[in-house]
Structures are given as structure tokens and as C-alpha cells.
Amino acid sequence: MIDAGQPSALDGRAQELQRAFDAFNQVSQALTMAYEGLQGRVESLTAELATANGELRRQHDAKEALAERLRLLLNALPAGVIVLDGDARVSQANPAARRILGHELVDESWPVLVSTLLLATETPTEWQSGTCRVAIVESPIDSTGGRIIIVHDVTTAHGLKTELARNQRLVAMGEMAASLAHQLRTPLATALLYSANLCQPELAEAARIRFAEKATAQLRRLERLIREVLLFARGERAGSGRMLVAEVLADAAQTVQPLFREKDVAYRVHCPAAEEQLVGNRKALAGALVNLLENALQACAAGGEVTLTARSGDGQLRIGVRDTGQGIAREVQARVFEPFFTTRAQGTGLGLAIALGVARAHGGNIELDSAPGQGSEFVLRLPLESTTQREG
């Protein structure tokens, strides 16, 4: 006997199965669509990856080509290139570096190579490596301590520089010799002329004495010229003696005051720094000051005036020698300290050069301030002795 309620139960199960089947179909369709979307995305990513791989391959090939060009360039460079790692060991070295330093270099310690292969020279950035003279420049290349060393073979350039300096010295010696010969010729010829007149038997005694005095004056001029040449060639080295500024000025005044009186030129002194102290060669400093004063005297006509001032400030002594002469032309000012350069017939051209040499030997200098028609002032600048030096 069949239960009347069974068809209803079966219908309910059938409906549940239908609903489950429908849900499955929906999920299956969703999964299918997701898979299709994922597949499309995979295809897109695959295409992008292929493009990216192609770009990377192109960049890699370009970098490989660049690296090859750089390798060829480094091998062709005449300068040596050495690459150091963070431990200062040579990781790379081009053929020029190996040739210049005469060593394989790679995997060697750079400090050890420097101590064994290089000798220091008088130039801080240049070294001697065997028969080569090398210039070395060093630069960091990364944050790990790596460095790049550039080595230039400057043997030929150094030889040319040495030869140029030698030629310049020879030219200077030639110019000095020619100037000296010119300076010696006039007084020597004059002295010979006066001496020849002394041999005339009919010459009166007064004339003989006059010629003898003139010959003697010319010979003294020659002697003075030779003495100044030797002084200029030898130079004056600063000693270690201490002196007051007033003492140096007094030594100079004792020498020049008779000359000023003879030429009727006033000599004025203004010396606020008289009690300051200098360290050096008193005789040389006084001589340099005499040269400046004589130069000022020669620039003045009778009735003129020369003023000597000595002031201190900022650890320096400033001694000024001002004249009331006609001044110095601009084109001449640049040459007044040149040896043997002079605009006076009786001048040797060494007084100012010697004064400048003395000033520099004492750590100082001489400056010129002049304008045509307004006179000139030569300023001798010298370092003063500090309080610490005095106490020591």
C-alpha cells in the first residue's frame, strides 16, 4: 500500500536538487568566467613579461656593448687606471697602469705597491717609478671605500719643464751679463781715457791731478757696481738679531744726511713706531732703507723734500719713503725692481732690486705708489716681533 504523502516528499527533494543544480550551474558559470578572465590576464601578463624581457635583453645588450667599449677605451688610454676595493686592494688595472708601474698590480695591496714601487719627489703629487716620473690623482667611487687611481706618465713633460727652466736661467744670465757689460763699459772707458791723459809728459800738474781724481772716481764707480752685483747675486739672509725700529732708521740717516745736505734736499722723519722691535739683519735692513732714500734723493731737485715715516699695525711695520720728484711713468713702474734697469745715466739699476731682496728675506715686501707729477712713495713692509717672541 502506497503512502499518499510520498509524492510530496519526492517533489521536495527534486526541487532541492534542482535548486542545488541551478546554484552549481551559477557557480560553474562564475568560475568559467573567472577562469576566462584569469586566462586573459595571464595572456596579458605573459605579453607584458615578454615585452619586459625584450627590453631587459636590449638594455643588457646595450650595457654589454658599453662595457666592451669602456674596456677597449681603458686599454687604449695612455694614462693608467687602477680600481681599488674597500680593502685598498687592486681589483682592476689597465695595461697602461701595468706598463707605467712595471707590475701586474691586480690583487695586490695598494699601500704596499706605493711603498715598494714609488719614490716621493719634490712635487707632492708626483712620484718616481723606475725611470718614469708619474703624477697620481685619487678619487672615491662608491660608499664602500672603493677608489679609482689615475696614473699619468709625466716623464716627458717634466723633462721639458726642466729644460725650459734651464733655458730661462740661461736667458736671464745672458741678459744680466749683457746689462753688466753695458754698465761696466762706460766707467771703464772713461777711466782709461783719463789714465791715458796722465801719460802725457807736457800735462800740467793741476790737470794731472784732476785727471787722476776723475779716473779714481770712475774706478770707484766700477768697484761699487761690482760690489752691488755680488751683493745682489749672494742675497742678504735675515739674521736673528733683535733691534728697535729707531736704530735702523738712525743707521740709515747717518749715511744719507750728508748727501741730502749736499744736494739741498730736506730730510723729514716721522716715526710713531720708533720703539717697535724687528728681528733680522740690522746692517741689511739699514742698507735697504739707504737704497730707498738715495733713490728718492735722486728723484728730487734742489729745494725738494723726502719724508720718512714708520708706522705699525696688524703685526706689521710700514716704512714709507716719499719724495717730491716728478713721479714714475706707469710703463716704468712695472720694471723698477728689475736688476740693472735704470733711467739714470749714472745709475746701476741694482739699488731697488737689492732692497726688495732684503725685504723678502725678512718676510716682507716693497710697494710703490707713484703718479707722474706727484712724486713717489716706496713702502717697505716688514713683520714685527710679536709679544710671545719677546717673552720667549
DSSP code string of 253-289: HHHHHHHHHHHT-EEEEE-TTTT-EEEE-HHHHHHHH
Q: Model-level pTM greater than 0.75?
A: no
If asked whether residues 210 and 300 sit together in one domain, one would say: no
Give phi and psi for 105, each to the nearest 5: 75, -45
By residue range, what is the domain housing residue 193?
179-234
Angle between helices 351-361 and 205-234 (to 10 degrees): 30
pLDDT score of 363 more than 80: yes
Look up residue 301 and give its DSSP letter.
P
Is residue 167, in this structure, part of any structural domain at all? no
Is residue 358, in this structure, part of any structural domain at all? yes
Is residue 382, in this structure, part of any structural domain at all? yes
Judge whether 101 and 119 are in contact, CB under 8 Å: no
pLDDT score of 174 more than 60: yes
Beta strands in 85-146 (DSSP E): 90-93, 119-120, 126-129, 132-140
Q: In whole numbers, what is the pLDDT of the chain averaged over residues?
A: 81
CATH number of the domain residue 274 falls in? 3.30.565.10
Last residue of a domain, one of 28, 51, 75: 75
pLDDT category, 1, cuts 50, 70, 90? very low
CA distance 320 to 340: 23
If asked whether residues 261 and 356 sit together in one domain, one would say: yes
3-state secondary structure of 93: strand
Last residue of a domain, one of 234, 249, 271: 234
CA distance 296 to 339: 18
Judge whether 310 and 321 are in contact, CB under 8 Å: no
What is the mean predicted confidence (pLDDT) over 273-302?
Answer: 87
Per residue in 12-66, pLDDT (tens digit) is 788 888 888 888 888 888 888 888 888 888 888 888 888 888 888 888 888 888 7
The closest of 352, 246, 375 to 293, measured between CA atoms, is 352
pLDDT score of 305 more than 90: yes
If asked whether residues 246 and 384 sit together in one domain, one would say: yes
What is the mean predicted confidence (pLDDT) over 187-203?
Answer: 78
If asked whether residues 145 and 128 sit together in one domain, one would say: yes
Locate 129 and state its grid cell: 717609478
CA distance 114 to 106: 14
Last residue of a domain, one of 40, 59, 75: 75
pLDDT score for 380: 93
The closest of 351, 314, 295, 317 to 248, measured between CA atoms, is 317
pLDDT score of 72 more than 80: no
If asked whether residues 54 and 90 sit together in one domain, one would say: no
Is residue 160, in this structure, part of any structural domain at all? no
Is residue 289, in this structure, part of any structural domain at all? yes
If asked whether residues 245 and 340 sit together in one domain, one would say: yes
Lowest-pLDDT choice from 14-18, 122-126, 174-178, 379-383: 174-178
Angle between helices 351-361 and 282-299 (to 10 degrees): 150
- Please list the residues that pair with 266 across neighbouring strands: 305
Is residue 66, in this structure, part of any structural domain at all? yes
Give the CA distances from residue 390 to residues 25, 237, 241, 330, 384, in Å, rounded to whole numbers and listed in that order.
111, 21, 12, 42, 11
- Please list the residues that pair with 128 across neighbouring strands: 119, 133
- How many separate domains does the chain show? 4
- Please list the residues that pair with 377 across neighbouring strands: 322, 369
pLDDT score for 247: 92
pLDDT category, 235, cuts 50, 70, 90? low
Is residue 163, in this structure, part of any structural domain at all? no
The closest of 120, 138, 131 to 80, measured between CA atoms, is 138
Angle between helices 245-263 and 282-299 (to 10 degrees): 30
If asked whether residues 286 and 351 sit together in one domain, one would say: yes
pLDDT score for 204: 83
What is the mean predicted confidence (pLDDT) over 270-291?
Answer: 86
Is residue 15, in this structure, part of any structural domain at all? yes
pLDDT score for 26: 86
Judge whether 319 and 355 are in contact, CB under 8 Å: no
pLDDT score for 209: 85
If asked whether residues 124 and 251 sit together in one domain, one would say: no
More confident call, 388 vs 303: 303
Place of cell 809728459: 201
